[in-house]
Amino acid sequence: MEAKDNRRLIESFSRDASFANAFESLFENASDAIYILDKRGNFVAINRKAEELTGFKREDWIGKSFRKIVPAKSLPKAIKGFLNVIRGKSIRFELELKTAFKKTVLVEVTSKPLIINGKIVGTLGITRDITERKQMEKKLQEYSEHLEELVEKRTKQLKEAHEQLLKSERLAAIGEIAAMVGHDLRNPLTGIAAATYYLKTKLGPKMDKTAKEMLDLIEEDIEHSSKIISDLLDYSKEIRLELTETTPKSIIKGALALLKIPKNIRILDLTEDKPEIKTDVEKMKRVFINIIKNAIDAMPEGGKLTIKSIKTNSKLETTFADTGTGIPQDILEKIWTPLFTTKAKGIGLGLPICKRIVDAHKGNISVESTVGKGTTFTITIPLEPELKGGEKAWLKGPESLLSTTTKA
């Protein structure tokens, strides 16, 4: 009964002129653009908001096809949508429209079949400008992505800081242990060294071959133990730089003089007596000795080590290229990490100390390696480092594993 009453009410309103006027007012003053198309896709009616949205006057629309205001790239979507509605479907989709302002506007179209006396005679559509909304969505998306990047970056920084803190605490512990036991260990080592020297001097020719080899082995182990203590102490304490004038050839010559080069290793020294540089000779010599020793260790079957130096702008670049076994990538990434080593005799502080010394000179040390072909270490230092404190400066003990700061 209620449905019949509603239907009668609607029919009575449709015959009433006031109802028609109300509908026309609603159509004309709607906040969204409203249009009516016939079955051929030509405009039959549009409201005021449609004029405002596109800039075209009403007379420019009526009788014209919707294809005239749709850009070529959006036309297939518009035609497909129109055909679906003519077949009786209700659809909603986004579309670009041409405007009289020589630009396009992005709209959301909601379209339904227009049915009179049970037949589809056209389409009724509501068009809403979503340009600003899409721009905001894009900005929000960009901000969201940027925020994710910031969160990821910050998380990475916090993770690195945490790792550095753990390593720093580990290093501090090493320094404390080294300082406490270094003196106590060196005392007995000195006694053992003195006793070994006495036995070799006293017995001399009376010793058989095996006894002499045993004493030589004791001396080697004393030297190795002493070096471990020195490395521990050196890495945990401040580095004091004393700059003097020298040449690349002079430093290499001094380093090679302190090394025992195996007969199956060929050293090709291509460094020159120029340019003159200011550096801490003893410490830089220590760096070069360490690099050369590593190169020798990497060529157990023999090979060649080529040492070259070249001036680039206001810096000296020295390269050490060996023909050894090379370093695998997974190990190459860890060689600057304190206490990391692949050697049976070693505690993994040689290269980290080298890096600290080079960093103290405001320089850089890098490495490239190919397994089976060899390794090249490159050390670059300024010809005259600008250090706080002049020609005598101190490098603070590492607060983190690889950080270095200079102070007077």
Half-sphere exposure of 219 (CA within 13 A, CB side): 13
Distance of CA 20 to the CA centre of its chain: 68
Its pTM stands at 0.48
Question: What pLDDT does 214 receive?
Answer: 87
Domains of the chain and any CATH numbers = 31-129 (3.30.450.20), 238-407 (3.30.565.10)
* Main-chain dihedrals φ then ψ at residue 212, nearest 5 degrees: -65, -40
What tens digit of pLDDT does each residue of 166-219 get? Answer: 766 766 666 666 666 666 677 788 888 888 888 888 777 777 888 888 888 888
Q: Nearest-CA neighbor of 53 among 37, 28, 36, 34? A: 34
For residue 273, what pLDDT is reported? 86
pLDDT at 3: 47
DSSP 65: B
Please answer whether residues 113 and 120 qualify as being in contact, where contact means their C-beta atoms are separated by less than 8 angstroms: yes
Q: How far apart are the first and last CA of the chain?
A: 100
Task: Round to whole Å and give the CA distance between 66 and 56.
Answer: 13
Neighbouring residues of 251: CB distance < 8 A, sequence distance ≥ 6: 279, 281, 284, 285, 288
How far is Cα 361 from Cα 282, in angstroms, rounded to an integer? 13
* Phi, psi values for residue 339, rounded to 5°: 75, 5
Q: Is 104 exposed, middle or buried (0-12, 13-18, 19+ CB in 10 A)?
A: middle
Q: Mark the ranges of the chain whose per-residue pLDDT is less than 50.
A: 1-3, 5-6, 9-10, 13, 390-408
DSSP 42: B
Question: Structure tokens of 274?
Answer: 């120029």
Nearest in space to 354 (alpha carbons), one of 301, 285, 400, 267? 285
241: nearest Cα among 401, 404, 397, 395: 395
Answer positive or negative: Cα dihedral of 170, 174, 175, 176. positive
Residue with tokens 């753990």, as numbered in its chain = 166
Tell me 40's DSSP state.
T
Are 347 and 339 within 8 A, CB to CB? yes
**pLDDT of the residue at 408:** 23
The residue assigned the tokens 């396009």 is 104
The amino acid that residue 108 corresponds to is E
Question: Which pLDDT belongs to residue 9?
Answer: 46
Work out the burial of residue 337: count CB atoms within 10 Å of its CB; fewer than 13 is exposed, 13-18 middle, 19 or more buried.
middle
Measured CA to CA, the distance from residue 308 to residue 378 in angstroms comes to 10
Q: How many CB atoms lie within 10 A of CB 36?
A: 17
* DSSP-assigned states of every residue in 290-350: HHHHHHHHT-TT-EEEEEEEEEETTEEEEEEEE-S----HHHHTTTTSTT---SSS--S-H
CA 255-257-263 angle, to 5 degrees, is 110
